[in-house]
Each structure stands twice: as structure tokens, then as C-alpha cells.
Amino acid sequence: MRRAPVLAVLALGTALLAGCGSGSHSADPSGQQSDGASASATAAGTAGGTAGPAITGGYVALGDSYSAAPGVPTVQFASGCVRSTNNYPHLIAAALPGLALTDVTCSAATTSSLSAAQHTAAALSLHVPPQLDALSATTRYVTVGIGGNDVGLFNALVGCMTKGDCKATYGDQADSAVETIGEHVTAALQAVHAKAPHAEVALVGYPQLVPASGSCAALPLQEADRAFLHQLFIDISQRMAQAAKDADARFVDVLDASRGHDICSADPWINGPHNTAQAFAFHPFEEEQRAVAALVVKALG
């Protein structure tokens, strides 16, 4: 597949970090969100250079809530996916107007949600189609951000805060959970390649939520639990990197980029339990989504 010129990648990555607007969006009852928005040509040029030839073609975003970014802000409630128009797929599409975005990311998705319908809201009996249905032989770019919900990773984090003794409860299961994520993600990426054989595929990892030392009011953890969870996120990221390699996909190392931006940091990329006006609890802020968008552009360039 034709690669984007290096100058375009550098210029657009800087523009994404600086900020870019999103245009008009429409959602259909299936939960699939198509973005015909195009940022002006100056969106890419704000980095101070010529962007070069446009990156064009169909771009499909697959993933869970760390890709859907609920509350940043959320405008797509109809399907129960609680998807933001400022998530990283939309930021990429706004900065690269030659891309035609189909965003089927959905909160609470597991790797099973790629190949089977996802039940998104039990009270309303809402379902969305398999995310892989959005792919075709003409798809040019795919991002995949998924795997943590397969083992209840983020529910476990909340449980550790409220109940404590996380390492004692989950320690013996950690290696198995990491391997489960790796195996499931590898299979998911292989399925993506089968549906979109000509696409550039990028696996987007998870950020680091837990500080390297200490805790805070937003993330009150016992020291043993903090150390355990901090290492668990590292292990998951490393296993996902291996999954991407095994499945011939690019790996976007969000964990490494997010160091110093954990929940307890002075500049957090991930929300704690309190600031729900800017993001859902324990989910990415818009700043994190902009950083991820820049990383993805670089990875696919």
C-alpha cells in the first residue's frame, strides 16, 4: 500500500497535538457513524510546513470505549455505544480530509463484538452489528483498540479501589489474563486482515492509568495493589505489541506515550471518578485522544 510522505506525517501529527476541529457527523440506527467532515487545508499546515499529497481512502475505526471516548463530548447515544465526535478516529479524519471515516467503536466492546452483534443497552434491548461488517476489500486504513474488556480489566481496577487486596485477589490470574488478551487480539487482527486484505492496520494500545509510585484521592490504592496494577498495564501493552507483530499490524504504543500522564499526575490523560463533565470516569480525556491521533498518523504513514 502507498505510504504517506514523511513530511505529511510529521506536519499532521503536530497539527493533531495542537488541536483540530471536527465537522458534521451523522449516525445511523446500526450504531455506525460516518464522517464526511473535512478540516480545512490549513489544519495540516498549522505545523508550519507543506503537508504534501493527501492521504486518501476508506478508514474504519474498530474498538471499545478507549477508542469511542465517551463524554469527550458524547453525541451518539442512539445505539448505546456512547461514542464521541472528538475521539481519535474523528480527529484523524478531520486532519486528513481525504479519508472517509466509518467509526464503529463502541463502549464495552470485546473482541467478540468484532464478529458478533453487541448488546449495548440491556434496558433498551439495543444491539449493534459486528464491527467487522464495516470492513471491505476497498478499506485502506483500519485502527483497532480492543482487548481489555475481554478480561474485565477496567472493572477490576474499580474493584481494587473499593475493596482493596487487588493483588491477593487477582495476582494468580494476571498472567492468564494477559495471555488471553494477546491471543484474542491476535485473532481479531487476523480477522481484520481477512476482511480488509489491502488495508494498513494499526493496533492501538492502552494508556498507563496507574502511577509508578504513590496514589491519590482519584485513585486510592494500597501500595501492593498500585505496584501490581502498574505492572499489569505494562505487561498488557507488551503482549499487545507482540500480537500486532504476529498479525502483521502496526502497534501504537499509547502506554509509553502516556508516561507521566496517569490518573494521579499533574497532567492526567485519563479521568478519575470525579470529573465526569469532561469524560466518563476512568476513561480518556480529549488530550489523550489528540495524542493518540497523532501517534496513529505517524504509525500509518
What is the arrangement of strands in the sheet containing 25-27, beginning at the earlier edge strand? Answer: 25-27, 33-35, 99-103, 57-63, 139-145, 200-204, 250-252
Which residue among 22, 65, 84, 258 is the active-site one? 65
How many angstroms separate the first and last alpha carbons of the chain?
11
What sign results for the dihedral spanned by CA atoms 53, 189, 69, 10? Answer: negative
Residue 106 included in any domain: yes
- The CATH number covering residue 245 comes to 3.40.50.1110
The answer to whether position 22 is within a domain reads: yes
User: Is 283 annotated in the active site?
Assistant: yes
- pLDDT by residue (tens digit) across 11-43? 344 344 444 333 333 334 345 655 433 332 323
Q: Which residues fall within 8 angstroms of residue 115, CB to CB, at 6 or more apart?
A: 130, 132, 191
Residue 296 has pLDDT above 60, yes or no: yes
Structurally, the chain folds into a number of domains equal to: 1
Asked if the structure places residue 1 within a domain, the reply is no
Task: Tell me which of 184, 230, 261, 283 is the catalytic residue.
Answer: 283
| pLDDT band with cut points at 50, 70 and 90 for residue 254 | very high
In a domain, 161, yes or no: yes
**CA 128 to CA 120: how far, in whole Å?**
7
* Residue 186 located in a structural domain: yes
Inter-axis angle of helices 286-300 and 6-18, nearest 10: 180
Residue 262 in any domain: the answer is: yes
pTM confidence score: 0.83
Contacts of residues 81-85 at CB distance under 8 Å and 24 or more positions apart, as own/partner, are: 81/31, 81/105, 81/106, 81/107, 81/120, 81/128, 82/107, 82/280, 83/27, 83/31, 83/33, 83/107, 84/289, 85/22, 85/25
Residue 22: other Cβ atoms inside 10 A: 18
- pLDDT digits 0-9 by tens, 125-163: 889 999 999 999 999 999 999 999 999 988 888 888 878
User: Residue 185's domain spans which residues?
Assistant: 6-300
Looking at the domain assignment, is residue 255 inside a domain? yes
Residue 228 has pLDDT above 50, yes or no: yes
Place of cell 440506527: 29
